[in-house]
Amino acid sequence: MRIISGKLGSRQFIAPKGFATHPMGDRVRTALFNTLGDIVGLTVLDAFGGSGAISFEAISRGA
């Protein structure tokens, strides 16, 4: 998986192995953050995140 945008954009990270986690795809994550708009300075809760892809993306974008 990779971080799409922000300070850490294009960096790769490995999702945890296992049957219980399935990382959110790049297209869906892009659509989510395009819908949210500017998130600089906001607090993001990625409850039951599994792979942490949403958290990493939010941190990269300034949340």
Residue tagged 């607090």 (tokens) = 43
Q: Which range (14-18, 27-31, 34-38, 46-50) has the least confidence?
A: 14-18
Within 10 angstroms of residue 30's Cβ, the number of other Cβ atoms is 14
**What are 7-22's pLDDT values in tens digits?**
888 788 777 777 676 7
- The pLDDT value recorded for residue 26 is 86
Tokens of 38: 């500017």
Put simply, whether the predicted model's pTM sits higher than 0.75 gets the answer no
Q: Look over the chain and give the mean of its residue pLDDT values, rounded to a whole number.
A: 84
Q: SS3 string of the chain? A: CECCCCCCCCCECCCCCCCCCCCCCHHHHHHHHHHHCCCCCCCCCCCCCCCCHHHHHHHHCCC
Domains of the chain, residue spans: 1-63
Tokens of 13: 């990270």
More confident residue, 24 or 43: 43
- The arithmetic mean of pLDDT across residues 30-58, rounded, is 88
